[in-house]
Amino acid sequence: LEQVVVIGASLAGLRAAETLRSEGFEGTVTVVGAETHRPYDRPPLSKKLLAGEWEPDRIHLRQPDSFDELDVEWKLGVAASHLDLDARRVDLSDGTSLDFDGCIIATGAGCRRLPDQGRHAHVHEVRTVDDSMRLRAEIADGGRHVVVIGAGFIGLEVAATAKQLGNQVTVLEGASAPLIRGLGAEMGAAIGAMHEANGIDIRCDVRVDRLDPAGVLLEGGELVESDVVVVGIGVVPATKWLDDSGLEIRDGVVCDETLLAWRTDGSPVPGVYAAGDVLRWPNALFGEEMRIEHWTNAAEQGAAAARSMLAVAAGEAPEPYAPIPFFWSDQADIRIQFLGRAADDDEVLVGAGSIADGKFLTLYGREGKLHGALGVNAPRWVMPIRKLLLAGASWDEAVAHAATL
């Protein structure tokens, strides 16, 4: 292994490059990133940066003066446009190309958009630091009517921040409750009620027809007037540049349990790995295929992909990547933390604390087993659940544990 290219210069790509070096790889490492910025942290984009509490110089993922220590060539402001698996070469948007014997795909995800989104100057999305600063300029002084389309994590974070800045905030959600995909309907509704108590108007079961210069038009003809619209309707893995590569793409780059990518014919592609929001892989610990759109996974997976690549190059067996997924979401005074997985048909039980007090631990179970745990304003209750999940705790054991809290 002599030449590694990492495509995507964000969290997963940076952790991959750092791990290659920390594990002693001495060949060349080139990191290609479509954004002009060095790797930065996205969670503050909907929280402290958007609120004006932090400036962009606080969100580096690595101290600016320590980038050179990595001995990595950064190609920033340049996108990968094509991956040639047979020639083992990646073509770039500046007309150059890079040969590789190892490649880590870490191109993350981009915002899903409404059909006519680009035509309206008052319509925003939040994925990049530039997006966040543009929106901040609109809402910083308060007094605007901000309509957020989508009550997912990012939509609710933006809504909470906009409210804290003194804006009137309405959230429009197509499903019957906020956060259904991440937390299920019951807990989503509980968190929605906490936002409503903070003065945010959340309207569920509404269908957006289209954007309008005066706001958002709903199906049936109602106009929800607004000065600023934020679209938070989820993300799409950034795989367009791989469409003609021969890699198997199914809502993400399909990988095996060691994060090695596969061709459409089902054969593995030696030396080509993926990490972060862009891939799906079978998590053996849960016996299910996952694509995760959260920080901790991107960081850990970047490192894991690099370790897999180095292990194979050294003739060793790579470790399967089988973590307990974890994420957090800070929405004003609501701190959400989640370990494990939630599914629609899970059994759900508030095991400690209470929704009414705004501090609680909810257990998620299936087939007599603990599957996940949600903490709201309860960090000390959530983290010890990791041990139970790792031990494959039964539902009854988990309920008994929660009762001691």
- Smallest distance from the beta carbon of 125 to ligand FAD, in angstroms? 9
Nearest distance from C-beta of residue 225 to ligand FAD, angstroms: 25
Q: Which is nearer to ligand FAD, 162 or 393 (CB)?
A: 162
Q: How far apart are CA 386 and CA 374, in angstroms?
A: 11
Non-local (6+) Cβ contacts of 6 within 8 A are 13, 16, 17, 29, 30, 31, 32, 103, 104, 106
- Residue 49: CB minimum distance to ligand FAD, A: 9
User: How many whole angstroms separate alpha carbon 274 and alpha carbon 255?
Assistant: 7
Nearer to ligand FAD (CB atom), residue 182 or residue 401: 182
> What CA–CA distance (Å, rounded) separates 87 from 295?
33
Decide whether 90 or 348 has the Cβ nearer to ligand FAD.
90
Residue closer to ligand FAD by CB (options 241, 262) is 241
What DSSP element (H or E) covers 138? helix 129-139
Q: What's the min distance (Å) between Cβ of 195 and ligand FAD? A: 16
Burial of 367: CB neighbours in 10 Å, binned 0-12, 13-18, 19+: exposed
Query: In angstroms, rounded to a whole number, what is the distance separating the alpha carbons of residues 89 and 155?
Result: 38
Kindly state the smallest distance separating residue 308's Cβ from ligand FAD, in Å: 16
Beta strands 228-231 and 235-237 are unpaired
Closer CB to ligand FAD, residue 128 or residue 393?
Answer: 128
Looking at the Cβ atoms of 12 and 393, the one nearer to ligand FAD is: 12
Question: Helix, strand or coil for residue 144?
Answer: coil
**In angstroms, what is the minimal distance from the CB of 231 to ligand FAD?**
12
CB of residue 80 vs ligand FAD: minimum separation in angstroms? Answer: 4
Q: Which is nearer to ligand FAD, 46 or 362 (CB)?
A: 46
Tokens of 85: 């698996």
Angle, nearest 10°, between helix axes 295-313 and 11-22? 40
- The angle at the Cα of 45, spanning 333 to 187, to the nearest 5 degrees, equals 40
For binding to ligand FAD (CB under 6 A), which residues are involved?
7-13, 32-35, 42-43, 45-46, 79-80, 106-109, 126-127, 154, 238, 241, 276-278, 293-296, 298, 327-329
